[in-house]
Every structure is written in structure tokens, then in C-alpha cells.
């Protein structure tokens, strides 16, 4: 599994850019990602001004999902992930916010025209459902503001070749 993730990081990191215009992946690159376990329909990108995709962070999320981290020049970290699944107001309260500590910390949810804004402890994230995929973007409240998350998720899209 470690070799599988390392190869994905090397292959995927060289192929993706979620900033300044998004990503373009060709058929060969999607084949490489699929061979590592990532379902090509789960590879998404966002534009998050002030943050850049950490190429070495691209990896498998859960069984076949996709995840990556975006970093600011100051070192602020934002997590991005996509997996198959539905979401609802009820699910919003029951699913932990990524990296919230403790994992059992209460979750607050607020839905709007983009998706669900969620907070738990010092973490917050936006969750959006697109094409039966649950896509989430979040980080520490001190590192990224709600509007930046919302704006980025309003423009979430498949990485396309």
C-alpha cells in the first residue's frame, strides 16, 4: 500500500494543478491514477486563491476516492477530498469534520446555495454533492476563512484532459 500511494503521489503530483486555471489530465494520466486505485471520476480540482496544491500530497482516499492538500506560502493547510456518497442535513451532523479533534467533537451544520458549511472544534469545511460524489474542502478556522472555502467549492470541477 505504501508503494501504491507513493507511486500515486509521484504520478498525480506531476499532473495536477488546482490553482490558476485548474487541471488538465490526459487519458494516459487517468490510466496511471486508476492503476493506483483512484477512480478517475473522483478526481476533482478547486481554485483556492493564496493556496497551491502540494503535489506530493495527492493520494487515494478510502477505497477509491481522491485527496490532496493545498498550502499557503505561510504554511496554512487545507484538505480536499472526494468519495462516492450522498449527503443530507442528517448526515451533515453525523459525519465527523475532517481532522476535527476529538473526532467525536460536536458538528454544527448550515446549508446554503453551495452546500453544507460544517464546523467542529477548530476545524471547518464545506461539503458539496456533485454527480453522487461527496466532495469536501476544509482546514483550521485560523488558516482559511469560510468565504474562501465557499468560493472554491462553488467552482469545484472534475479534473479533465
Q: What is the pLDDT of residue 30?
A: 64
CA distance 57 to 10: 9
Report how far Cα 31 is from the mean position of its chain's Cα atoms.
20
CA distance 116 to 88: 9
SS (H, E, C) 47-103: CCCCCEECHHHCEEECCCEEEEEEECCCCCEEEEEEEECCCCHHHHHHCCCCCCCCC
Q: What is the pLDDT of residues 79-125, one digit of tens each?
A: 999 999 999 999 999 999 999 999 889 999 999 999 999 999 999 99
Non-local CB neighbours of 31 within 8 Å, separated by 6+ positions: none
Q: Residue ranges per domain, the chain? A: 2-158
Confidence band, pLDDT 50/70/90 cuts, at residue 9: very low
Q: What is the pLDDT of residue 28?
A: 55
Neighbours of 112 (CB within 10 A): 9
Predicted TM-score of the model (pTM): 0.82
Q: What is the pLDDT of residue 44?
A: 92
Q: What CATH number was assigned to the domain covering residues 2-158?
A: 3.40.1000
Amino acid at each position: 500500500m505504501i508503494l501504491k500511494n507513493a507511486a500515486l503521489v509521484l504520478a498525480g503530483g506531476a499532473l495536477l494543478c488546482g490553482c490558476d486555471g485548474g487541471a488538465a489530465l490526459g487519458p494516459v494520466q487517468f490510466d496511471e491514477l486508476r492503476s493506483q486505485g483512484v477512480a478517475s471520476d473522483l478526481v476533482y480540482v478547486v481554485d483556492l486563491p493564496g493556496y497551491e496544491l502540494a503535489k506530493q500530497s495527492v493520494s487515494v482516499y478510502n477505497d477509491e476516492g481522491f485527496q490532496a492538500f493545498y498550502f499557503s506560502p505561510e504554511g496554512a493547510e487545507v484538505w480536499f477530498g472526494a468519495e462516492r456518497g450522498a449527503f443530507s442535513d442528517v448526515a451533515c451532523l453525523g459525519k465527523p469534520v475532517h481532522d476535527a479533534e476529538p473526532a467525536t467533537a460536536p458538528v454544527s451544520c448550515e446549508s446554503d446555495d453551495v452546500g453544507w458549511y460544517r464546523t467542529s472544534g477548530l476545524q471547518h469545511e464545506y461539503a458539496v454533492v456533485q454527480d453522487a460524489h461527496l466532495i469536501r474542502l476544509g482546514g483550521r478556522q485560523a488558516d482559511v476563512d469560510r468565504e474562501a472555502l465557499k468560493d472554491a467549492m462553488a467552482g469545484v470541477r472534475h479534473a479533465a484532459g
